[in-house]
Amino acid sequence: MSVTRLLAVASKEILQILRDSRSLIIVLIMPVILVLLFGYGVSLDLKHLPIYVYDRDGSQQSQDLLKRFQASDYFEIVHVANSYAELPRALDNGNAKMAVVIPWDFSNRLRDGRPVQVQALVDATDDNTANVLIGYAQAVVQGYASDVQVDWLRDRGQLAGVTPLRVQTRTWYNEDLESSAFIVPGVLALVMSVIGAFLTSLTIAREWERGTMEQLVSTPVTPLEIMFGKLVPYFVIGMLDVIVCALIAVLWFHVPFRGSFVTLLFSSAMFMVVVLSLGFFISVIAKNQLAASQVALLATFLPAFLLSGFLYAIEQMPVVLQGITRILPARYYVSVLKKIFLKGTPTALLYADLVPLAIFTLVLALLATRSFHKRLA
């Protein structure tokens, strides 16, 4: 391999990137946009959810209970309904996520010491929102119920002044349960998939489609030099993007960074080689920009998005799918990212992720090299 020729191919590639303003924009701006997009847009911190209330009792007690809903950060009473018929409609058209119905004999039953049920109609289209809503509503009602009981007992000379059990929850690694801290580190994997596989598969498929690849091959440049020359610029760009994204995560979104920066760079470099090899391999096989870009997205972006633990917990997937995630490099890289950012796991304890990642790196790099040789021969 000659360094001069390799550099020549690389400088040609850099020229091409620089000349095409939009490619330049994508490699520079896209990472920033993706981080901002997910940092702001993807949040599961539910607050101020619109609810309707229908108080059929209209007593002091029922108002007390409703005030507790009002006082909670999680609910916002947007409408006080006058008839039951308003409630299904509000859920149907999405004006309310939940409707609380207080029965007409609420205060009577409380006075007589009979159990009362308060109804919560929940729009469960979005199961996650519904789940969280029900949890918060339960907490409000239970709080009210236990206060009523404590008062009642006290009136009858019983102590039991406190709720007997107190749960002290400590959330580790992401103390404030910030969605951005959980999501933003994983965005690095998405960015690299886009730069590495999507963009390279396009640029290389373009050479095939236009016939300039044959021209390149007819020069004294060897296949290996072509491959490295084409990929090195994207490797450098990808690594720069990693640093930019990490900086935005830490400085803008205040995501903690507790691990080693060197390990971050090292593992990112491995993942970069993985996606570059995949992108190259796909473009050699597809030789058509539309197909190459679609397959590249399918092979890198989709797994990085769905099957890496970036958003959806792998342990909660069906067992077969969990098995599939084991052969996806993105899974190991995202795991390393989360551990470095949030957990601060020492590098020595990351071997369970780093070793598979290294194996993938080697195998895919070899595969890409061989496929290119073959196609040219």
Partner 1 sequence: MLARLKQMLIKEFIQVFRDKRTRFVLLGPPIIQMLVFGYAATFEIHHVPTAVLDLDHSQESRELISRFTSSPYFDVQHQPTDYRQVGDLIDRGDVTVALRINAGFAQNLRKGQSAPVQVIVDATNSNTALIASGYINQIALGFAKHYQQDRIQRISPQMISIMPSVELEQRPWYNPDLRSRWFFVPGIVGSLTLVLVVTLTAFAVVREREIGTLEQIMVTPIRPIEFILGKTLPFFLIGLFDVSLIATVGTLWFQVPFRGQITVLFMGAILFLLCMLGVGLLISTVSATQQQAMVTSFFFIMPAVTFSGFGFPINTMPQWLQYLTYLSPLRYFLVVLRGTYLKGVGLDILWPQMTAMLALGVGLLTVAILRFHKALD
CB of 299 to partner 1, least distance (A): 10
Q: How far is the CB of 240 from partner 1 (least distance, A)?
A: 18
**Cα-Cα end-to-end distance for the chain:** 18
CA gap 267, 272 in Å, rounded: 9
* Cβ proximity of 340 and 263 under 8 Å: yes
As measured in angstroms, the least distance from the Cβ of 222 to partner 1 is 26
Asked if residue 309 lies in contact with residue 331, where contact means CB atoms within 8 angstroms, the answer is yes
Residues 63, 277: contact at Cβ < 8 Å? no
User: Cβ of residue 54: shortest distance to partner 1, in angstroms?
Assistant: 13
Work out the burial of residue 279: count CB atoms within 10 Å of its CB; fewer than 13 is exposed, 13-18 middle, 19 or more buried: buried
What DSSP letter does each residue of 236-247 carry, written as one string? HHHHHHHHHHHH
At 75, give phi and psi (nearest 5°).
-115, 150
Residue closer to partner 1 by CB (options 110, 284) is: 110
| Cβ distance to partner 1 smaller for residue 221 or 291 | 291
Task: Please check whether residue 372 is in contact with residue 223, taking contact to mean a CB–CB distance below 8 angstroms.
Answer: yes
Residue (141 or 273) nearer to partner 1, CB? 141
Tokens 């290389």, residue?
A: 204
Nearest CA-CA partner of 243 in 188, 174, 194, 189: 188
Residue 315 Cβ vs partner 1, minimum distance, rounded to whole Å? 7
Q: Give the residue with the Cβ less far from partner 1, 249 or 286.
A: 286
Select 100 or 365, whichever has its Cβ closest to partner 1.
100
Rounded to a whole number of angstroms, the minimum distance from the CB of residue 72 to partner 1 is: 13
Own/partner pairs, 259-263, CB within 8 angstroms, 24+ separation: 259/339, 259/340, 259/341, 259/343, 259/344, 259/345, 259/346, 259/347, 260/340, 260/346, 260/347, 262/347, 263/336, 263/340, 263/347, 263/350
Question: Based on CB atoms, which residue is closest to partner 1, 198 or 271?
Answer: 198
Closer residue to partner 1 (CB): 111 or 370: 111
Q: How many CA atoms lie within 13 A of 216 on its CB side?
A: 24
**Shortest Cβ 93–partner 1 spacing (Å):** 5
When the beta carbons of 132 and 216 are compared against partner 1, the nearer one is 132
